[in-house]
Amino acid sequence: MITPQVEPRDIRQAPSSAPVSDVDPFSDAFFEDPHPIHEALREAGPVVYLAKWNVFAVARYAEVHAVLNDPATFCSSRGVGLSDFAKETPWRPPSLILEADPPAHTRTRAVLSRVLSPAVMKQIRDGFAAAADATVDEIVARGRIDGIADVAEAYPLSVFPDAVGLKAEGRENLLPYAGLVFNAFGPPNALRQSAIERSAPHQAYVQAQCQRESLRPGGFGACVHAHVDSGEITDAEAPLLVRSLLSAGLDTTVNGIGAALYCLARFPHEWERLRDDPGLARNAFEEAVRFESPVQTFFRTTTRPVELGGVAIGEGEKVLMFLGAANRDPRRWENPERYDITRRTSGHVGFGSGIHMCVGQLVARLEGEVLLSALARKARSITVSGPVKRRYNNTLRGLESLPLAIEGA
């Protein structure tokens, strides 16, 4: 694979109407505590200019939602990271769905939508629920655990690779590969560069697993390949669509479940409400996705000069969307700083919005729901029992370590 040569972009004056900020949303300080900076960005104006990376950015709900829902103006085919594919060689062959625009996107999207449809969820539900019970039984028996390694990672790893139909060997490559993909959306900082430098073995593994003969019949991967037979996609496209599942389907739910555990351990009142009614598990997970926004940011690129929030933006400009900031925008949410498991979460942008809205959202909700439901039924208390450590990634927000004490019900 080619390591991108980043051309220094001209340092330009921001158009006068956009307030300029020197915040670096890809820095350790930001990862540690993004919320006050999100607030400052929201308050600065509907559109701000980030001098550090020469990009426009939106942090309010209305503008984030508007950009997500105007793919003709704010395109994805020039990359949804900082790198502009019109100017730089992508670090890997672009995604046929995430980094595509209509009409190409419409066709590939239809295939993955069918592979991950509500009807398919009904078939896999019991298996996912049984595995969640098993994971929770084990951690309750142990009492002291790490919420990240032993639950947030262990549970998705126990269901998702099997559901895709991967063979057992080599799965240790999956999380490093996903970490790489999400770091690569960021700027050419140390996180991105070192991930790409170490990527060769993970890329080789993923490429091999995406081939038809590597995938168990009946799994999501084989179902993608089955659409070649009906002529909707070519046999060159199928492996790349399987790659999208491996890139986006595991580390995201790890951080989603990690977010939910961290919320429930921090907010005992909400944990009690969940125990009283385990039927709230699905919304408790959804609210954690809003509250923590495990996927924090994506970029778009303008296809034409456009005015947004009173600010003129030229053609070919990168626009950074702060999903996490939109999900806590007081203009849209009542008490946004509150984790409330009975909140009406519909409309949050933690899974995006519009034509690219997460095609795997039903898998994510299924995993989150059955895991939290098992916890609510089988555990009496869940408390933080040691130092919490954050994991740094250019796109994903989550923890490295979450020591927990769990008491059985």
What SS3 state is found at 307? Answer: strand
The CA dihedral of 269, 270, 273, 277, to the nearest 10 degrees, is -160
Residue 45 or 249: the one with the smaller Cβ distance to ligand HEM is: 249
Q: Which does 360 bind (CB under 5 to 8 A by kind): ligand HEM, another protein, none?
A: ligand HEM
Q: Pull the structure tokens for residue 106.
A: 């419409």
**Which residue of 8, 36, 103, 118 would you call a contact of another protein, by CB under 8 A?**
118
Choice between 54 and 361, CB closer to another protein: 361
Shortest CB 399 distance to another protein, Å: 25
β-sheet bridge partners, residue 20: 49
110 binds, among another protein, ligand HEM, none (CB under 5 to 8 A by kind): another protein
Of 112 and 319, which CB lies nearer to ligand HEM in the complex structure?
Answer: 112
Instruction: State the Cα–Cα distance between residues 328 and 269, nearest whole angstrom.
Output: 20
Is 142 a binding residue for another protein by CB under 8 A? The answer is no
If binding is defined by CB under 8 A, does position 227 make contact with another protein?
no
| Closest CB to another protein among residues 60, 92 | 60
Q: How far is the CB of 333 from ligand HEM (least distance, A)?
A: 17
Binding mask 84-113 for another protein (x = CB under 8 A): --------------------------x--x
Answer yes or no whether residue 286 interacts with another protein by CB under 8 A: yes
Contact 365, 109 (CB under 8 A): no
340 is an interface residue for another protein by CB under 8 A:
no
Residue nearest to ligand HEM (CB): 360
Q: Which does 270 bind (CB under 5 to 8 A by kind): ligand HEM, another protein, none?
A: none
Size of interface with another protein, in residues (CB under 8 A): 25
Q: Is 117 a residue that touches another protein (CB under 8 A)?
A: yes
When CB distances are held under 5 to 8 angstroms depending on the partner's kind, the choice from ligand HEM, another protein, none that residue 159 binds is: none
Q: How far apart are CA 295 and CA 314, in angstroms?
A: 27
* 297 near another protein (CB under 8 A): no
Chain residues binding ligand HEM by CB under 6 A are 76, 80, 97-98, 109, 112, 116, 244-245, 248-249, 252-253, 256, 289, 294-295, 298, 323, 350-352, 356, 358-360, 363-364
Chain residues that interact with another protein, rule: CB under 8 A: 110, 113-114, 117-122, 282, 286, 344-348, 351, 353-354, 357, 359, 361-362, 365, 369
